[in-house]
Amino acid sequence: MRRIRRWVDAETVRLPQAIVYCAYIVAGVQSLALGAPPNAVAQAMGHEVALMWTALIIACPTLTLVGLWQRRRAFSLWLQLAGDSGVTCASAAYVVAVLQATWSERATFAAWSAAALAICGALITWRDARRIRQVSKRIQAFEEGCARE
């Protein structure tokens, strides 16, 4: 119970991000198991692209979660950046698909929810890129300091 309280009280987006990303993975696996992506996605993108979209909502959150799990490794930030970028693109594509669907006037909740997730994904992706830049600068400063000695 202490661990859960520590996660909830933490000044980080890791727990909510992990929850949303696990939901994306489950939705993608369910879509594959049923053989049918969401109607809006299939209508707007066609079957082949909808299949690629489904793969994206499974693979990209998985990349991010592996990056979070392996956060002490050098490649983890790059995994998070790649995964978060893919989630952002998949969410944005879903918004476009819903808005293009013939019944979009009745699917505004889905469009607004996915738009909010896409914006959050974009901000997290921006954070990932900034972290990589900060780490690169620290490594460069360390290497320059070692070279002087």
pLDDT tens for the chain, 149 residues long, are 777 777 667 677 788 898 999 999 999 999 999 988 888 888 888 888 899 999 999 999 999 999 999 988 888 999 999 999 999 999 999 999 888 876 656 767 888 899 999 999 999 999 999 999 999 898 888 888 887 76
At 142 the pLDDT is 86
Rg (CA), the chain: 18
As for how many domains the chain has, the answer is 1
Please state the pTM of the whole predicted model: 0.83
At 76 the pLDDT is 92
Q: Residue 121's domain spans which residues?
A: 2-148
At 116 the pLDDT is 94
Quote the CA–CA distance of 9 and 1 in Å, as a whole number: 12
